[in-house]
Amino acid sequence: MRKHLVGYAFISPWIVGFTVFTVFPFLASIYLSFTHYNILSAPQWTGLSNYERLFYEDPLFWKSLWVTLKYTVVAVPLMVGVGVALAMLLNAEIAGMSVYRTVFYIPSIVPLVATSVVFVWILNPQIGLVNTLLGTVGIVGPAWLQDPRWAFWALVLMSLWTAGGSMIIYLAGLKNVPRSLYEAALIDGANAFQRARHITLPMLSPVIFFTLVMGVIGSFQYFTQAFIMTKGGPENSTHFYALYLFNRAWRYLDMGYASAMAWVLFVMIMALTLIIFGTHGRWVHYGD
């Protein structure tokens, strides 16, 4: 018993911190989602009014939800595909490969704020690097972040800048694929595409499953880039759900409404995660 008390004493700072800064705010947000609360005065119980406003009276809620869902459907599979392709390319045993791996990985560890500021300049329609390069081949580049038709897709393309982070995970997965499988496939006359289709991807599927789940969760929390680069514009084309939640909470001090939005977000993420887990038995292979 004394040993247990000593152990609890050692971990008590973490337990206190977790309880005060995680558990209590988590539970408090449930109550606040049913109140009108602006920080400056005590919460006033309003029942389901916040949720009714969300679903029936707030078109920007649906707009931000649509933008976020579209980003999830487009950017997450694109990130997975690019990451797997890079890992397969960088899995070759040639001289200097460690340098190439480092070059592709470095962008993923650059702070998001710094990356966003750099891309604001890169995508500048007048002096930006992208439009300058397009101009050299006779193409007039779009306004990118100032054009509602292009702003969303500019952020999707920007997301590929950090594909090196998942590439490292896929590369580690590729190292665990037994070479005997490739040797047997070569003996049977399988070409490169067939080896990738029937050996590499099935053996890599547990890693893809992990990054897919984490990517979906992360996409619903997409905030920093939109906040710094577009502020949700133009014409709300990049008004992501997390950005709208932040504005309701800290710009308008509508904490009760923001808490309701947070719980809707929580339910959506849980639902999508459970759906993905429900399908993984059909396409994820664990080598058994």
pTM of the full predicted structure?
A: 0.91
Give the chain's radius of gyration (CA, Å).
24
Q: CATH for 53-283?
A: 1.10.3720.10
Distance between CA atoms of 105 and 63, rounded to whole angstroms? 34
Distance between CA atoms of 159 and 146, rounded to whole angstroms? 18
Burial class of residue 228, CB neighbours in 10 A (0-12, 13-18, 19+): middle
Three-state SS at 44:
strand
Among candidate residues 250, 161, 179, the one with its CA nearest the CA of residue 242: 250
Among candidate residues 71, 2, 74, the one with its CA nearest the CA of residue 221: 71
The pLDDT assigned to 117 comes to: 94
The pLDDT assigned to 258 comes to: 96
Q: Where are the domains of the chain?
A: 53-283
The pLDDT assigned to 287 comes to: 64
Q: Are 240 and 67 a contacting pair, CB within 8 Å?
A: yes
36: phi then psi, degrees, rounded to nearest 5: -100, 115
Walking along the chain (288 residues) 10 residues at a time, the average pLDDT comes out as 83 93 93 94 94 95 97 96 93 86 92 94 92 92 94 95 92 89 89 90 94 96 95 94 96 95 96 94 82
Q: Are 2 and 10 a contacting pair, CB within 8 Å?
A: no
The pLDDT assigned to 92 comes to: 83
pLDDT digits (tens, 9 = 90+) for 234-262: 999 999 999 999 999 999 999 999 999 99
Distance between CA atoms of 102 and 259, rounded to whole angstroms? 41
pLDDT digits (tens, 9 = 90+) for 66-122: 999 999 999 999 999 999 999 999 988 888 888 999 999 999 999 999 999 999 999
The pLDDT assigned to 288 comes to: 55
